[in-house]
Amino acid sequence: MKLSQPHLWLNPFKRETLDTQVLKAWRATPLLQGIRAGVCEKLVERTHVRQYQPGEYVFREGDSAVAAALIVQGNVVIRSDDNDIARLGAGEFFGEAALLEDTPRSASAVAEGVTLVSLLVRYQLEEFVQHRPQAGLNIMTNLAHLLLARLHRGNNDHTEEKNANDGNAAS
């Protein structure tokens, strides 16, 4: 992906190109909070924008995971055992556990309509942070916060579900 700024006279109405849209979307994710704009640009240049047709899998439950995904346009349904768990829209970031290790996907992601997804591959992120240790530390800290927040949310959901079940049983 090429992110160099287009000439002003080629874009008189300041319409957003796909590349700048992708960059903006990535910069808004919790993963790149507090990272310098120049560094973000270099990292986002390495991401891969891919188009999915309605019903096409972005990834499948149980597949080996090597990339985190960001929805640029369209919607994605997260599905596990034929149950829809969540519906994500443009700007939402998912599958970030793949940036840490080779774990199988815990759920499938299916494109709802024609959907553009930007993928950040773990190996490319590793190569990127090798050259920029400070930025790497910040990104990994952000990732840790993100995973921790999801873990807390999962725990809270589980506790609430358990309390509700206990309440039902008591009544």
Partner 1 sequence: MNGWPLRLVLVSIGLAVLAWVLSPIWLALLISVLFYLLLSPLVSMLLARGASRDRAIIMSLLPALLILVYAAVYSINSLRNYLPHLAADLEHLQQSATLALLQFETYLEQMIGLRLRLAENAQVLDLNDILQTDKLLESTGVFANIAINLTLVPPIAYFLLRDFRRWRDNALSLLPNEHFELGWLMYYGVSTRMQAYLRGLLWQALILACITSTGFWIAGFPSPILLGVLTGVAGLVPYLGPFLAMIAPLVMLLSAATFDPGSILQILLVLTVGFGFDNLITVPFLLAGTVNLHPIVAMVAVVVAGNVGGIPAMILVIPVLGMLKIVLQTLLNGLGAPIMQRE
Q: Which residues bind partner 1 (CB under 8 A)?
A: 46, 48, 50, 52, 56-67, 102, 119, 121, 123-124, 127, 130-133
In angstroms, give the least distance from the CB of 92 to partner 1.
19
In angstroms, give the least distance from the CB of 69 to partner 1.
10
* 49, 22 Cβ separation under 8 angstroms: yes
Q: Closer to partner 1 by CB, 134 or 156: give it.
A: 134
Q: Closer to partner 1 by CB, 103 or 159: give it.
A: 103
| Residues sharing a CB contact under 8 Å with residue 72, sequence separation 6 or more, in sequence order | 18, 21, 22, 25, 49, 90, 116, 117, 118
Which ranges constitute the DSSP H helices of the chain? 18-27, 37-45, 122-131, 133-170
In angstroms, give the least distance from the CB of 103 to partner 1.
12
* 36/46 Cα distance (integer angstroms): 16
In angstroms, give the least distance from the CB of 112 to partner 1.
15
Q: Closer to partner 1 by CB, 111 or 146: give it.
A: 111
Q: Closer to partner 1 by CB, 88 or 119: give it.
A: 119
Sign of dihedral through CA atoms 65, 101, 93, 14? negative
